[in-house]
Structure 1
């Protein structure tokens, strides 16, 4: 299984990167391939490629603030959660995705 995602928060600092790290750690712990793009205060980093998006089974987005480039995920299974929920529940989310 492969997952891609974008994290962002209103200030574009701490929660953006904490959510990305939480998703990456939880995915790896559950044997899931992952790549997370961050849209922080310094702009997009670790930008997802069209190939990575194409190969993704799920897309995870934070919904704390507007994320640019969501049209890239048309036709994909998209999950939207707050950065806080992602940080707190990434492992449970990964386990649930494995059953879907």
Structure 2
């Protein structure tokens, strides 16, 4: 299973990166491959490629502000979460995605 995520917050600093780290930690603890792009005050880091999108099973997007280039993910299951939830509830978010994808098979 491969997940993608894009995190961004209005200030583009701490919460953007805290959310990215929380999602990475939660996914890896469950043996799930994840790539997280951050859209912070210094721009886009760890950019998700079209190859990444092609191979992804689902995408997590934070919804506190507009995600740049969101159209890349058209056709993929998308989960929109608050940046605070990505930080505090990353395990539950990953669990819900796993359950959804397993039920979809």
Q: Does the alignment reach a TM-score above 0.5?
A: yes
Q: CA RMSD in A?
A: 0.6
The normalised TM-score by structure 1 is: 0.97
- What is the distance in 2 between the residues matched to 1:24 and 1:48? 14
Partner of 2:17: 17
Partner of 1:62: 62
SS in 2 for 1:37: strand
Partner of 2:49: 49
- What is the distance in 2 between the residues matched to 1:51 and 1:27? 20
- What is the distance in 1 between the residues matched to 2:98 and 2:66? 27
Partner of 2:33: 33
Which stretches in structure 2 are left out of the alignment for 5+ residues?
101-105
Deviations 1:47-95 (A, max 9, x none): 0011111111110000001110000001010000110011111011112
Question: What count of residue pairs does the alignment treat as equivalent?
Answer: 100
- What is the distance in 2 between the residues matched to 1:5 and 1:94? 11
**Deviation of the 1:42 alpha carbon:** 0.1
